[in-house]
């Protein structure tokens, strides 16, 4: 059985007459798979992500996570959004530690194990190159650095599932490509499952094992593309013929959906 099973899921916002954001959407995700959802804006990609986390409940269909049906907010998922939302009154390190203070699993033992937690957080910050900035306040970090810290915050409690909603969309092109590398490294080291929502097709092909193209609202999966490229993938590869062909194929699929 797959790790995540999305089975004929629909969601309508605002009652029976409201907008249909997602319709009859099915998708299955294996443990340790990196999945990217791409599609035109407002197509319900983010809604799908929210339904997997249980923050939003489907009005039709079922979502299973690790064997159990999702019926409310799931615990121990890592989430990162485009906006880093670091707490300005906490240092970078304390921001990263926040999930351990509030998560069901760690909250009771947080004080007792604080030293271990700090070690773990510093290790994580070191992997993304932020260890020297642990005591800095968030506003002293650049946008890219804030997003690295945001990733660390999403991963500190070692979630099995990481949900990313356009995490790099607000960054400049160079920083974005740099962070693809950071995320790929984290993914290869830690072997969690990822669902990434993005507009950037190069990003999706570079990072994902499987790219799903979502139709315009109401969202449905119209194309599923396996990306067989070996890891670690390099930025140079993104300009190879094979890579560019995949990007074009996805692009065509999206243009079709948009035109329809």
Binding site for other proteins (CB under 8 A): 50, 53-55, 73-81, 83, 85, 87-89, 98-99, 101-105, 107, 137, 139, 153-154, 157, 163
* Residue 130 C-beta: closest distance to other proteins, Å: 18
Nearer to other proteins, 179 or 211 (CB): 179
Nearer to other proteins, 6 or 161 (CB): 161
* Residue 99 C-beta: closest distance to other proteins, Å: 5
At residue 160, what are phi and psi to the nearest 5 degrees? -80, -20
* Residue 150 C-beta: closest distance to other proteins, Å: 9
Contact 102, 49 (CB under 8 A): no
* Residue 171 C-beta: closest distance to other proteins, Å: 16
Nearer to other proteins, 163 or 211 (CB): 163
C-alpha to C-alpha distances, 208 to 48, 71, 232, nearest whole angstrom:
17, 27, 11
At residue 184, what are phi and psi to the nearest 5 degrees? -60, -40
Query: Angle, nearest 10°, between helix axes 92-102 and 114-127?
Result: 130
Contact 92, 134 (CB under 8 A): yes
Nearer to other proteins, 67 or 72 (CB): 72
Q: Which residue has the tokens 């959802």?
A: 37
Nearer to other proteins, 87 or 173 (CB): 87
* Residue 145 C-beta: closest distance to other proteins, Å: 16
Nearer to other proteins, 166 or 200 (CB): 166
C-alpha to C-alpha distances, 129 to 122, 181, 182, nearest whole angstrom:
10, 12, 9
Using omega within 30 degrees of 0 as the cis cutoff, is the peptide bond preceding 218 cis?
A: yes
CA dihedral 169, 54, 19, 35 (to 10 degrees): 40
* Residue 25 C-beta: closest distance to other proteins, Å: 20
Contact 45, 197 (CB under 8 A): yes
């Amino acid at each position: 059985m797959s790790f995540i099973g999305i089975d004929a899921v629909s969601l309508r916002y605002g009652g029976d007459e409201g907008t249909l954001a997602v319709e009859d959407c099915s998708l299955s995700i294996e443990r340790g798979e990196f999945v990217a959802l791409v599609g035109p804006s407002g197509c319900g990609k983010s809604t799908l992500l929210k339904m997997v986390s249980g923050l939003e409940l489907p009005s039709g269909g079922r979502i299973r996570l690790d064997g159990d049906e999702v019926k409310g907010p799931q615990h121990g998922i890592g989430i990162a959004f485009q906006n880093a939302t670091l707490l300005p009154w906490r240092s970078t390190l304390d921001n990263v530690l926040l999930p351990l203070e509030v998560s069901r699993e760690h909250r009771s033992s947080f004080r007792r194990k604080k030293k271990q937690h700090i070690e773990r957080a510093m290790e994580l910050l070191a992997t993304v190159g932020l260890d020297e900035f642990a005591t800095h306040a968030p506003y002293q970090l650049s946008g890219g650095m804030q997003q690295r810290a945001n990733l660390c915050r999403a991963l500190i409690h070692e979630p099995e599932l990481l949900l990313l909603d356009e995490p790099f969309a607000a960054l400049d092109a160079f920083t974005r490509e740099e962070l693809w590398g950071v995320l790929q490294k984290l993914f290869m080291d830690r072997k969690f499952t990822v669902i990434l929502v993005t507009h950037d097709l190069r990003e999706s092909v570079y990072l994902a094992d499987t790219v799903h193209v979502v139709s315009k609202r109401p969202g449905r999966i119209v194309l599923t593309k396996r990306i067989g490229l070996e890891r670690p993938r390099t930025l140079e590869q993104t300009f190879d013929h094979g890579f560019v062909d995949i990007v074009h194929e996805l692009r065509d699929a999206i243009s079709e959906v948009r035109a329809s």
